[in-house]
Amino acid sequence: MNEGVPRVFGRPRTRREVLRAAAAAAMAASVGGASACASEESPTVDPGATGKEPEVTFAEPATKLSGDLKILLWSHFVPSHDTWFDKFAQEWGKRVGVNVVVDHVDQAQIPTRIAAEIQAGEGHDVIQYIATLSQYEPSVLDLKDLVDEASSRWGEQLELCRKSSSNPSTGKFYAYSPGWVPDPGNFRKSLWEPVGFPQGPTTWDELLTGATEIKKSQNVQLGLGMSQEIDSNMVLRALMWSFGASEQDENERVTLNSPETVAAVEYMTNLYKQAMTPEVFSWNAASNNQGLVAGKLSYVVNSISAWRTAQESNPDIADDTFFVPALRGPKAALAAQHVLYNWIVPEHATGADAAKEFLLHYTANFASATYHSKLYDFCAWSDLTPDIGDWLGDDPFGAKPADKLAFLSDAVPWSANIGHPGPASTAIGEVFNTFVIPNMFARAVRGEASPEQAVADAERQVSSIFDKWRAAGLVGG
Amino acid sequence: MTVTDQRVEPTPVKELARRTLADREGALAWLFLLPSVVYIIALVAIPFGLAIAFAFSDVSAGDPSFDWAGMVNFARAFDDPVFWRSLGNTFVFTGVSMVFIVLLGKVLANILVADFRGKWVVRFLVLLPWTTPVALSSISWLWLLDSIYSPIDWVLRAVGLLGKGENMVWLGEPGLAMTSVIAVHVWRLVPLAAVILMAGLVAIPRDIDEAAKVDGAGYWRRMLEITIPLVAPVIAVSALFGAIFTFTDMAVVRVLTRGGPNDATQVLSSWAFYRGIDGGDVAGGAAVALFLFPLLLAVAVGILRVVRRIEVD
């Protein structure tokens, strides 16, 4: 007898089950809303897919290890990664005789936590963040030996990871960067098909044409942020690079005030007027994900995590969401990396040897990280993920069509580090974290300054930041 | 005369010691003050001293070693257009917030001291915004002010003030964003001001009010000529609290706008944080934060002088 028992998702549920499910859903929604990118629940593997979960490999450490290893890393946007990682780290610890403690915190809290631990001179032995940690260079170990060892085992490290973890001025590897995440364009096929772009835009000009038409005919706006948040920082740099502009050159000289930057700002002003609304000035890092999943945006630039979320929460939208590589501009087709894994070992770390050995073990098994992050994480040593092409071509996690992510096999040529064509230096980090670039675009787009004036003012701010860190010996040029 | 042999019981040593300590008011005063003194030294004086030291140094998030840098951090702050914008925003944020906090606090205090059924439930509800953690309440407001899903917009659309599919974009327009930040901050601090003012209102002897009533004074006359002058020092204290809490607050700005759009809601405290912690320039952030001190000191001294003058009068 099930009288009075509600039917939810096919079978009768008790009131307690319904309440639990509601509480879990509310919690997931609140966590998702606060994250920089959307996250989804446990992975659902497509039994028909050809890709299989990789086996974990193990190599004996070079030296006998003991003691504790305290690891701090972000709460991954794909929670199944953390479930795998925690078990993986514990099992390695048991095999090598190290007591491993893993702490996860929201990515936004990590810089504050690192600053506090460095000031206190104690804390975790190894810390991971999803962007460059160049500002901590003076207080962390040089990991050149680790990078050299990894490169001798697995070949050349991906350049964008190398440029985001080393300082050419000091020659120091302030971080170890074994992985990254691409940042493609996400578009709604049902919106772009009627305006003549069934495969989505391929250039910035096509984006302007298509998005304008979609806004006019279907009243759905485009979603490129100009707010003080991380995704705006990423996409606006992609636009600048595609127009041949950049904050610095490869020798770390400030080059922001250029005709190319002005052209990029003018393009964005036009794009905003034709296809966007003022909401893009108010966004936080989760806003474009939420708008895409809700069907309120025609195109955003983001990793695949929002779409993975939609696979669970809104399958119709997920099936209608497709991807394109970086859009081509007058000079190039480049996008910023969406996430860049930086692992640092602070000088105060007592488990530095264990940390380095663990990082080698983690890198050797990066295929597992890629798989358990549902193809979110990409490796800095491509040979370590030999199956990635198969996975992307036949998604093990239920993409429709199964080859929806196949284009990511060629993501490296159209991806660049923050600070491109130079390194992701301390100065670049401060420019990034104080949102100079989104504000430069926003001022011109809102009409508060002409494009030329907005760019000139931004260059003054950037130059001041560069001068300061150059005086500290951390920036070249 | 009979002399009786009265034996005096010796006082136990412990009791004597206790009584002695209990009788020594000076020692007791220090004992009771000690936790506050330790608290102030550890969490106010030392960080304040460190902030001064950092502001004249080259300390960064990655390099805690202290090197003297003179006034260079202040010079950089003064050259920075965001600093001046933040300073202006801080004055607007504080000034407008204070006016509303004191006005609405006074209105709310009058309601709270009134005698009516369900008074305790109303008092509990009124205090909720103050007792709710700021991060939690600000995130609720973040949803209420969302650019697409704002329930406030739903209501405005329902009553016909917004067209179909139209949104206010509360946090995307500079004026609306500052209004939103101020509104949320006022919502948070009004209960505190109300409780402070309520204490002042309760302390007014009832016979003064009753005598005025007998003399034929109406509500507004009693309010303007008796109640407000008598609680003026308390109003000044609540204004001082409001000013200090507002001047130094960055929680609402950080959660709602992160200083945007285009630094339109950036205040000195949030800019100090972004520059010092996220940007890694601890010394630069300290210089910006330290700029709050003379301004706060001037506000505090000014208000306390006014209070003193009122009391003397």
Residue A468 to chain B, least CA–CA distance (Å)? 9
Is A14 part of a structural domain of the chain?
no
Residue B176 CB partners (closer than 8 Å, separation 6+): B168, B169, B170
Which stretch of A14-28, A65-79, A98-112, B141-155 has the lowest confidence by average pLDDT?
A14-28
Tokens linked to B220: 């507004």
- Last residue within a domain, chosen from A346, A378, A403: A403
Asked if A435 reaches chain B (Cβ–Cβ under 8 Å), the answer is yes
> What integer pLDDT is reported at residue A136 of this predicted model?
92
Cβ neighbors of A415 (< 8 A, separation 6 or more) are A160, A180, A182, A183, A326, A334, A335, A336, A337
Query: Residue A17: inside a domain, yes or no?
Result: no
pLDDT band at A17 (very low <50, low <70, confident <90, very high): very low
Residue A26 located in a structural domain: no
Q: Is B302 on the interface with A (CB under 8 A)?
A: no
- Could you tell me the pLDDT band of residue A352, with boundaries at 50, 70 and 90? very high
Nearest residue in chain A measured CA to CA from B258 = A228
User: What secondary structure letter does DSSP report for A53?
Assistant: P
Other beta carbons within 10 Å of A200: 24
Mutation pick from B60, B144, B254, B267 vs chain A, by most beta carbons of A within 10 Å, is: B60
Residue A304 counted as domain residue: yes
Full domain range(s) for residue A169:
68-181+338-403
| Cβ–Cβ under 8 Å, residues B129 and B183 | no
Same domain, A263 and A386: no
β-pair type (A99-105, A68-74): parallel
Q: Is B170 on the interface with A (CB under 8 A)?
A: yes
Assess whether pLDDT exceeds 50 at residue A2: no
Domain boundary among A349, A368, A403: A403
- List the single best residue of B54, B140, B148, B263 to mutate versus A (max A Cβ within 10 A): B148
Residue A20 lies in a domain: no
* Domains of chain B from N-terminus onward: 80-312 (1.10.3720.10)
Q: Is A63 exposed, middle or buried (0-12, 13-18, 19+ CB in 10 A)?
A: exposed
Q: What is the ipTM of this complex?
A: 0.77
Chosen from B166, B274, B278, B282 to mutate, greatest number of chain A CBs within 10 A: B278
In the predicted model, is pLDDT for residue A5 greater than 50? Answer: no
Q: Contact A135/B263, CB-based, under 8 Å?
A: no
A219-228, A249-258, B110-119: lowest mean pLDDT where?
Answer: B110-119
B80 and A464 within 8 Å at the Cβ level: the answer is yes
Residues in chain A, total? 477
Q: What CATH number did the domain enclosing A174 receive?
A: 3.40.190.10
A242 with A284, same domain?
A: yes
Are A344 and A298 members of one domain? no
Whether the CB-CB separation of A377 and A370 falls below 8 Å is answered with yes
Q: Which of the four pLDDT bands, split at 50, 70 and 90, describes residue A303?
A: very high
Residue ending a domain, choose from A359, A379, A403: A403
Over the stretch A100-126, which tens digit does the pLDDT of each residue have?
Answer: 999 999 888 898 899 999 989 999 999
Same-domain status, A303 and A194? yes
Do A313 and A243 fall into the same domain? yes
For residues A277 and A191, state if they share a domain: yes
Please tell me whether residues A303 and A434 are part of one structural domain.
yes
Chain A residues within 8 A of B282 when measuring between CB atoms? 115
Nearest to B277 among A111, A121, A472 (CB): A111
CA distance A74 to chain B (A): 16
Q: Is B251 left (phi over 0), alpha (psi -120 to 50) or beta?
A: alpha
Contact residues, chain B, for A442 at CB < 8 Å: 260-262
Distance of CA A68 to the CA centre of its chain: 30
pLDDT of residue A25: 40
Size of interface A-B (CB pairs under 8 A): 131
Residue from B94, B243, B116 nearest B182 by CA: B94
Question: Are A208 and A281 in the same domain?
Answer: yes
Q: Which residues of B touch A281 (CB under 8 A)?
A: 169, 171-173, 260-262
Which residue in the set A279, A294, A426 is minimally distant from B172, CB to CB?
A279
In a structure prediction context, what are the per-residue pLDDT tens digits for chain B, which is 313 residues long? 444 455 555 556 566 555 677 778 888 888 899 999 999 899 889 989 999 999 999 999 888 888 999 999 999 999 999 999 999 999 999 999 999 999 999 999 988 888 888 888 888 888 888 888 887 888 889 889 988 888 999 999 999 898 887 888 899 999 999 999 999 999 988 998 998 898 888 888 888 888 888 888 888 888 888 888 888 888 888 888 788 888 888 889 998 999 989 899 999 999 999 999 888 899 999 999 998 888 888 878 887 787 777 666 6
Write the CB contacts of B75 (distance below 8 Å, at least 6 apart in sequence). Answer: none
Same domain, residue pair A190 and A257: yes
State the total domains in chain A: 2
Torsion of Cα atoms, A186 then A189 then A195 then A200, to 10° = 40
User: Is residue A168 located within the same domain as residue A266?
Assistant: no
The mean predicted confidence, pLDDT, of chain A is 89
Calpha distance A71→A129 (Å, rounded): 11
| A11 in any annotated domain | no
* Residue A227: closest C-alpha in chain B: B261
State the distance between the two ends of chain B, measured CA to CA, in whole angstroms: 65
Does residue A228 belong to any structural domain of this protein?
Answer: yes
Q: Quick check: A140 and B62 CB within 8 A?
A: yes
Task: Please give the DSSP secondary-structure letter assigned to residue B44.
Answer: I
Helix (H, G, I), strand (E, B) or coil at A313: helix
Q: Is A429 on the interface with B (CB under 8 A)?
A: yes
Q: Tell me whether residue A19 is in a domain.
A: no
Domain match, A263 and A169 both:
no
Mean pLDDT on A366-384: 96
Q: Put residue B66 in one of left, alpha, beta given phi > 0 → left and psi -120 to 50 → alpha.
A: beta
- Cβ contact B60–A135 (<8 Å): yes
Q: Are residues A365 and A222 in the same domain?
A: no
Of B257, B261, B274, the CB nearest to A442: B261
